[in-house]
Structures are given as C-alpha cells and as structure tokens.
A and B are shown apart, each in its own frame.
Chain A
Amino acid sequence: MLVFALRRLLSAIPTLLIVTLVVFAMVQLLPGDPARLLLGEEATPQALAELRRSLGLDRPLPEQYLRWLFDVLHFDFGASVRDHTSVSSLIAEKLPTTMQLAGFAMLIAMLIALPAGILGALKRGSWVDQVLTLFALSGISLPNFFLGILLIYVFSIRLAWVPASGYVGFFEDPVKNLLLLVLPAITLGVHSAAVLARYLRGSLIETLFQDYVRTAHAKGVSGARVTFRHALRNALIPVVTAFGLQLGGLLGGAVITEQIFSVPGFGRLLVDAVYTRDLPVIQGVVLVSAVAVFLVSFAVDLLYAALDPRIRYQ
C-alpha cells in the first residue's frame, strides 16, 4: 500500500509541472491587458507603460514564467496587482471558506444520494424509482444560478428564515455561520446528490445480480443484510470515484454559488481576479485548485485501493 502511494505521488511531479505551464499559458491567453483594466478610464499611454513596467509585464514570457515558477516553488505566489496583498494570504483567507462550503455541500449530497440511490435500486421500475429519477434529472439539469436565486426568494425574502447573503466565520458565530451556509450548500450539493444517486442506483442494481449475492440469498441470509453487508460495499467502489470527481467539480460550482450568495470564498476571489486581470491572483488560485483536485483524486485512489485490494496489484 505504501509503495503504491509513493509511486502515485512521484508520478504526480511531472503532471504538476505541466499544470504550472498550462496555468501560466492560459493566463497569458486571456484577452485584454491588465494595465489597461487597472487604469480604466484614467489610462494615458505613459501611465500604461509605467504600470506594465512595474508589474513586470514588459519582460519576455519565458522569463516571466521562470520567475513565477521559481517563486511558486518557494511557496511565494506573488502579490495582487490590485492592492499588493500577498496572494498566499488571500488564498489562506478564502480557501477555508470554500472548503467548508464544499464539505457541507458534500454532506448534504451524501445525505440525499445514499437513501435515494439505495431505494431506487431496490424498488427499480416502481413509481418510487420513477419519482426519484425525475428528481435526479431535475437536480442534474437545474443550473446553480437559478436554484440559488429561487432559494433566496423562498427562504430569505418570502419566509425570512435565513439571511440572503454574507459570511461569518464558524468560530466567530457557529449558528450564524451554518445559517448563512445552508442555502449555498444546498445549491451546490443538489447537483452532486443527483449524480451520486444515479451512480449508486446503477452500481447497486448491477451488484444485486452478481453470483455471490444470489448465493447469499440462497443460503438464507436476510434481504437487508445481503443488501447492506454484501452488495452495498462493492457497489460503493465506483461511487467513490464519482464522489472524488464531484468534489473536484464542486470548486467550479462554488464560483457561481459564491457569487450568488456573496460568500467571500475561493470562487469569488477568482471571478474578481479575472475581472480585474489580477494575474498573480488568477495563477495562484488556479494552481492551488489544480493541486487540490490532484490531492482529492489521490485520496480517492487510496480509498479505492483500500476498498478493493485487486486495484493495488494492477
């Protein structure tokens, strides 16, 4: 297991290097000039040239890349061109918020997906299954921005149960923190819930037809015991992969959700940075997201190997 983990980690180094190159190239491909956007209406040609020089934007691209990479390897992501705040401190400030939101969303997703998936598989073809399928399809197709605004309208404006937007740290005021995060977490989690429920249903149906399940039934093991002890464990293996993929996708979904609910997290930081062409912030945020997605998929691989010993020897 340890060798497997180490091999996986080492093979990630070239991948991550390529990621840095892609991130850098991607940011360079963004149309528009950061200096022009920063100066906006007040831009004069002299002011533009001055600002480009002070931001290092007048240097050749390979030099800009190497300087940036060198700094990144020292955990220095540079400073925001907007107000000179260090990018690492911005990330350190925003990342926990988004992680809490994503974690909360994942919890909601699992709470919905597990019973829905199992019920759907056991009652496949029945009206219960059909209703669940309908919900899953709407969950998958409902866009975040629509669901978010709908939830604000119903629960903040009409019913006034929760505040419409904002964020308070968990340790400042835990109750308010949860109240503020519940709508964004539902918005963010519904899509994952639907996807995971579908995965689990499909996978469980397949497992229920396996020989060992039939054997267990033949030996007189109770239905519930067969489902939960024998079939579910094996059916969960592909679901774990899907879970990992969803978790990575949550970072992307968070961009829109945070925008709607004014949650000052990673996604809003990115959107704002793109709007203002704050290159160091964009590069830092995208790189950290890439690493986060890598770490999640690494953890999923390990979990996968733990669940199914056959994986390790391949």
Chain B
Amino acid sequence: MRKHALLLTLALMGAAAAQTVTVGLDADPPRLDPALSTALVDRQVLNQIFDKLVDLDQNLKIVPALAKSWKVTNGGLTYTFTLRTDVKFHDGTPFNAAAVKYTLERNMTLEGSGRKNELSSVKEVKVVNPSTVQITLKQPYAPLLAVLSDRAGMIVSPTAAQKAGENFQNAPVGAGAFEFVSRKRQDNITLAANPSYWDGKPKIDKLVYRPFPDGDVRAANLLSGAVQVITPIDPKDISKLDKNAKFDVMNYPGLGFQGIWFNVTRAPFNSKAVRQAVAATIDREAVAKVVFYDTVVPAAGPFPPGTPAASKTAQPPKANVTFARQKLAGKPLTFTMLTAPGSVNTQLAQLYQAMFAQAGINAKIEQVEFGTLLDRADRKDFDALMLGWSGRPDPDGNIYDFFVTGGTNNQAGYSNKEVDALLARARTQTNLSSRVATYNVALGKIREDSPYIWVYHQSNLVATVKGLTGLKPIPDGIVRFKDADLK
C-alpha cells in the first residue's frame, strides 16, 4: 500500500514537473514547410519538427542523422545513403527510402519551392531498397551534403504532405524530436516532445515559440520570466544579461557576413579605383567595438573564422585613409548608400559615413524599407547598399551566388570570367583543401575588384535562464532542443 502511494506520489510529481520551454524569436516564422520556407527564422522551428538526412556538429562536420552513413562514388556524381530503419514520422508513417525520394522530388518540383536552386544539380533520386537511397547528380556538386543538413534535407511524411497539399505548412509532420501541436499567428507556435523519437524522448515536454520583433520587448520578456530563451539578443543587452546571475548568455560565431555592395554597373562605382578607395576607409575594429560591443568578428572575406574555408593568413584589412585619397586623386566623390531601417543599421550607416568622410568622401544615407531595398538591388537602382548574408555551412553557399556572373545574390552586377571559372571549378572539387585553394585564388581577384566590402561576421547570440542545459553552440545558429533540460 505504502509502495503504491509512493509510486503515485512520484507519478504526480512527474506530471507536475511537465516542462515547458518558451523561446522568444525576433519574428513570427512565416512558413513551416521545409520546401516553401524562405525566412531564416523558420529554420528555428522546422529543425525541431523535421529530422534531416544529415546534421552539422559544433565544428561544422557533417554527422549522421536519418542517414546512418553514406558513400560518394562515381567521381562525386553518386551519393548512396544508408538509412535508419527504426524511425516513424509523427503520424505513424514509416520512414524509408521512398519517403526520402518523395521529399527530395517535392523540394525540386513544388510550386514556389525555395529548394529548387539548392538541388538543381540533382539528376535522379533512386530507391535501391527500403533502407538505401541513391542520389545521382548532373555534375559533381561538393556542397550537396551541407545542403542536405538544412531545409532541403528535412524529410517530410509523404502521407501527411500528400493529404494536406498547400496546407502542409499549417500542419507540418516530420520525424523530429518535437511534434507540431498548434500555431496562432503572431502569438505562438506550440510543439510537444515526440515520445517515440529514435534518439530518445526529449527531456522537455513542450516547446513554445513566441515572436517579439522589438529587441527591448524580447529582453523584457526574458527578464520577467515569460520566456526562458531568447534569440537573437540585441548587442546592447548582452553585458546586462551576462552580469545578471539569473541568466546565461551564449555568444558563438555564426556562418554569415555583413558589409557593403557597390553597384559596378554605373557611375561612380564602375571605377575600380573608386571602389578600392571607399573600401579602404573602413575601420572594422571600430565597427565591432562601437556598434556591437565586440560581439562580432571583423571580416577578411566571406568565410567566418572557425569554418573550414576561412583563410588562416588573410587578416581583416586596416583602414587606410592615405591610400583612399591617393586612389581618388583629388576628384570629389559623392554617392548614396541604401540601408534598411533599424537602430543597428542606422548606427552602422552613420559610422560608415563618418569613415568615408575622413577621406573626403561624401555619402548620403537613404533608409528604405527592406522590401524596397531588395527590389532596388535587383533593379540595380542604387550606388551602394548595406546587405549581408546569414551564411551556409558549405563555403560555396557564401560565395558562389554572390560573385558569379548573373548570380541571384550578386547585387553588384559583378562579372569576371576568371572568377566564374574558379567558382564553378570549386564546386566540382571533392577534396576540401584543393577547393579552399581555388577559393583563395578567386577571392584574391574579387578583393582586387572590390565589388563588395566584407566588414564583419555576425555572431549567434542566445540568452537563457540559468538551469537550462543541453544547448549546443552549432554555428548555423539554430538552437536544437532535443537534449535541452530545465532544472
């Protein structure tokens, strides 16, 4: 009898300790479908619901996930994946090679899919047997595994996706550590622990995401105990939260870069000397210190330190006003720089403006809403503009599309045949060190041409209540809650 009572008490205690972790994000994730998602913030939620073929570890190494192992053969043209056989989707559908084939083909064909570009090198996906799937490429594409560690490799339940059609994003079903429960726009997205997760049931029972677009409001909600995690933190709040004994701050390098584009298709920046002059005025250390309280890293190129392609030798250039004046040779320079709204953007733009002025360069700041900024970038209707990139684990994702002739993210309108050839060659090289060598040659030419100034690499800034453990600083910035525990 007594034993029963004890068990009952323990059971009640267990029930009472049902753990909910609420996470404050900076935006309401727009689309919870791995194929349709185009916003960075979506990935925070998608990653918990959908398991991927492969994942990244803290050192950006590709590690097994739904695929236990893989082999690359045929000169980099064939990828054969051996899959886990003990996995079920949240709706009970078994995970197998057919589900992988369905997902990848859906990513490549669904109308409005944002994955088409990433998977454009895929020729065929073949089911060899239920636990083996083979991807054949049109030409070698070294970034494939990295691409499969993100949304393109998130495997959806074929039954659920077929049944829901366009509505799948409102009822996403994957095989991840957490199941989708409900969402209320602008309010919350609620997930529950997947009790039969192949890698063990998560320790927390419920995961709730809430959007707080304003950084002060996000911090206020952490301080008041309404949420247990916020990401990102405004740089100005870091030391405040860090000093507070009730919170932990995680600050680890990200994958992206931020800087300034020059429109090389029209005056004044169709002149290489002018671009070099403006680029030489930037004091990256000052930017990191003044605007970001040293939470960002000055950039020497598109690859952040700590990532495999980061140059061990290239140091971020120092400001050189004399060089800038020489390059301008006494000719006056006036231009307009576009930026999106936001306090950090405004501060950055004004700091840049002051740095330009030291070399006698007169820059006007024009602040336009983000949609307009993208639009004008596409139409090449600007002189200079401030825009960066969230970053990708494979180096290709940080360079190819930005500097190849006609690339979607090539805001400068930059075109250099040699660079095109080098970037294309790097894609086909399976040996990482030879790829990096190719990138370094390409980067030398891009630096010389200066269509873009890399200024800094942003960091991932996460604040949590003390007692929340098990979060790993993975550079893609996505906080994984599978091993999280709240004491």
Contacts and interface: CB of A to CB of B under 8 A. Distances in A.
B326 interface: no
A51 B220 contact: no
A42 interface: yes
Contacts of A31: 368-369, 371-372, 375
Interface stretch (A7-15, A63-71, A83-91, A291-299): A83-91
B290 interface: no
A262 interface: yes
A38 B115 CA distance: 13
A47 B372 contact: no
B170 A83 contact: yes
Contacts of B369: 31-32
Interface in A274-309: 275-277
Contacts of B390: 41
A194 to B, nearest CB: 24
Listed residue (B30, B114, B211, B216) with the most chain A CB atoms within 10 angstroms of its CB: B30
A236 B113 CA distance: 59
A262 B230 CA distance: 15
A83 B33 CA distance: 10
Interface stretch (B180-188, B259-267, B313-321, B463-471): B180-188
A42 B117 CA distance: 8
Contacts of A37: 370-371, 374
Mostly, the B contact residues are loop
Contact of A33 (B116, B117, B185, B375): B375
A31 B40 CA distance: 22
A233 interface: no
B374 A262 contact: no
Interface string B14-53: 0000000000000010110000001110000000000000
B112 interface: yes
A214 interface: no
A32 B375 contact: yes
Contacts of B38: 38-43
A196 interface: no
A83 B186 contact: no
B166 interface: yes
Contacts of B117: 42, 44, 47
Contact of B167 (A44, A84, A152): A84
Nearest to B221: A164
A43 B170 CA distance: 22
Interface string A85-126: 100001001100000000000000000000000000000000
B186 A156 contact: no
A93 B375 CA distance: 32
Mostly, the A contact residues are helix
Interface string B142-182: 00000000000000000000000011011000000000000
Contacts of B370: 32, 37, 275
Contacts of B116: 44, 46-47
Interface in B86-121: 111-118
A59 interface: no
Contacts of A227: none
A68 to B, nearest CB: 20
A230 B402 CA distance: 76
Contacts of B303: none
Nearest to B372: A31
A219 B394 CA distance: 92
A30 B211 CA distance: 24
B199 interface: no
A238 interface: no
B422 interface: no
B169 A262 contact: no
Contacts of A78: none
Given A33-B374, A164-B224, A262-B210, 12 more contacts: A31-B371, A32-B374, A37-B370, A39-B38, A40-B38, A40-B114, A41-B389, A43-B408, A44-B116, A51-B111, A94-B186, A262-B187
Interface of A: 30-33, 36-47, 50-51, 54, 82-85, 90, 93-94, 149, 152-153, 156-157, 160, 163-167, 259-262, 264, 268-269, 271-272, 275-277
